[in-house]
Amino acid sequence: MPIYMGLYERQQREKKILEAAIRLFSIKGLHYTTMHEVAQQAKISKGLTYFYFKSKEDLYMAITKKGYDELKDVFNKALSKGKDNTGFENISDLVENFLVFTSEKRLFYECILNFLGLVNLHNDPAKQEMIPTLILESPYFQKLLQIQHDIPAIGVKIISKGIRDGSIRPELQPETTFYTIWSMLIGYDRVKGSVDFEPKDLKIHAEVWKNSFLKFLFEMLKGTQFAHKFQPVQGRLF
């Protein structure tokens, strides 16, 4: 019983610290938030906060891991939704809920994008020194490196399902198709703010652009008016 209670108390304290950090990082950002402020927000001593998370960077990577897990749940729900759903219906549901995630879970999403940037640096030995040492030492960063392909693997399964059931073009290659979709979605989100600003010299409306973007993406998968423009791409990404 004491061991169980000790584990439970540890989990509750970690949860309080994470929740406090999420609130503060969402408002002030990583650089302008101190561990002292996180400890105050969590109503836990600064020393104990450092016991659970060795640095602010370690805490940031813990938040990234939590965000990654939540996004993975979005992917898993899309894969398992409706036994009679086609793969195309599953990927359509995934796209819709991915965009909801980027809007409603903004801090998590930005943390994930930051991690993807860190992976780019980590993959190049000449650039690894650009990653802060406290991030490299974070066990959460190391864990994220180990599980980084979990989400893409689910996306590939959905595309593969659609190819098998005929709802997605059969000449598409699952891995490259998913990564293309993912990069399109990230790109869409990144320029969304600029379109929402509605510059006077461009005739574009945010809602119209969103509908056109989704129409293009889905027609690419279905192969209606764009089928002849796309050639099958061979090779596996992982």
What secondary structure does DSSP assign to 155-220, as a single string? HHHHHHHHHHHTSS-TTS-HHHHHHHHHHHHHHHHHHHHHHHT--TTS---HHHHHHHHHHHHHHH
- pLDDT value at position 199? 63
> Which residues in the chain are classed under CATH 1.10.10.60?
1-53
Q: How far apart (Å, rounded) are the C-alpha atoms in residues 62 and 56?
A: 10
Q: How far apart (Å, rounded) are the C-alpha atoms in residues 108 and 68?
A: 7
Mean pLDDT of all residues in the chain?
A: 89
Domain at 58-229, CATH class: mainly alpha
User: Is 70 exceeded by the pLDDT of residue 91?
Assistant: yes
Q: What is the CATH number of domain 1-53?
A: 1.10.10.60
User: Is 70 exceeded by the pLDDT of residue 235?
Assistant: no
The model's pLDDT over 137-194, given as tens digits with 9 standing for 90+, comes to 999 999 999 999 999 999 999 999 999 999 999 999 999 999 999 999 999 999 888 7
Q: How far apart (Å, rounded) are the C-alpha atoms in residues 192 and 54?
A: 36
Burial of 85 (0-12, 13-18, 19+ CB in 10 A): buried
> Which residues in the chain are classed under CATH 1.10.357.10?
58-229
Q: What is the pTM of this model?
A: 0.87
- Average pLDDT (84-92) is 95
- Average pLDDT (12-31) is 94
User: Is 50 exceeded by the pLDDT of residue 12?
Assistant: yes
Helix (H, G, I), strand (E, B) or coil at 204: coil
